């Protein structure tokens, strides 16, 4: 089962839903761990998620261990590099965090991540 879970979180509704799914999976596996990963876009196109309090509140379950990692750079590339060098069992990511125009111009972070990571991926709408 999925014991070590990477959770991509950008503060969007879709990433919060991804956090709910991660919490659900982790609560069913003994000694599971969720690493909440957020990336500040170095180009300034998104805000830095300095507070992950809503997700932390959700994970306040004695059976769910978690930590947080804050990265800086191009979100897809940073997530891919970080996830591929760690020993995660799955990445859970929201289907989108951008508005429609940004999505069209920049491409989908979730699509790039799923295409390039070496582990199973779950995209949550």
Q: Of 38, 1, 10, whose CA–CA distance to 124 is shortest?
A: 10
* Residue 51 Cα to chain centre, angstroms: 14
Q: What residue segments make up the domains of the chain, in order of their start?
A: 4-124
Give the C-alpha distances (Å, rounded to integers) separating 21 from 17, 27, 85, 93, 120: 6, 10, 23, 10, 14
Beta-bridge partner residues of 40: 72
Tokens 């990571």, residue located? 117
Distance CA 67, CA 14 (A): 20
Identify the CA nearest to 96 among candidates 1, 10, 4, 36. Answer: 10
pLDDT of residue 17: 94
Q: At 9, list the tokens.
A: 């979180």
The pLDDT of residue 12 is: 86
Whole-number Cα distances in Å, 125 to 11, 42, 66, 110: 14, 26, 22, 11
pLDDT value at residue 99? 55
Instruction: Give the pLDDT of the chain (125 residues) as one tens digit per residue.
Output: 899 999 999 888 889 999 999 999 999 999 999 999 999 877 655 554 556 888 988 888 777 899 999 999 999 999 999 999 999 999 999 987 555 555 554 458 898 999 999 999 999 98
CATH of span 4-124? 3.40.50.620
Q: How far apart are CA 89 and CA 108, in angstroms?
A: 22
């Amino acid at each position: 089962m999925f014991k070590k879970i990477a959770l991509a979180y950008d503060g969007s509704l879709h990433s919060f839903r991804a956090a709910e799914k991660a919490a659900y999976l982790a609560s069913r596996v003994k000694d599971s761990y969720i690493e909440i990963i957020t990336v500040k876009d170095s180009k300034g196109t998104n805000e830095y998620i300095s507070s992950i309090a809503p997700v932390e509140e959700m994970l306040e379950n004695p059976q769910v261990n978690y930590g947080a990692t804050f990265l800086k750079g191009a979100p897809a590339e940073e997530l891919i590099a970080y996830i591929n060098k760690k020993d995660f069992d799955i990445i859970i990511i929201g289907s989108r965090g951008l508005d429609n125009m940004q999505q069209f111009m920049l491409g989908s972070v979730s699509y790039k991540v799923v295409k390039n990571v070496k582990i199973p991926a779950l995209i949550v709408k």
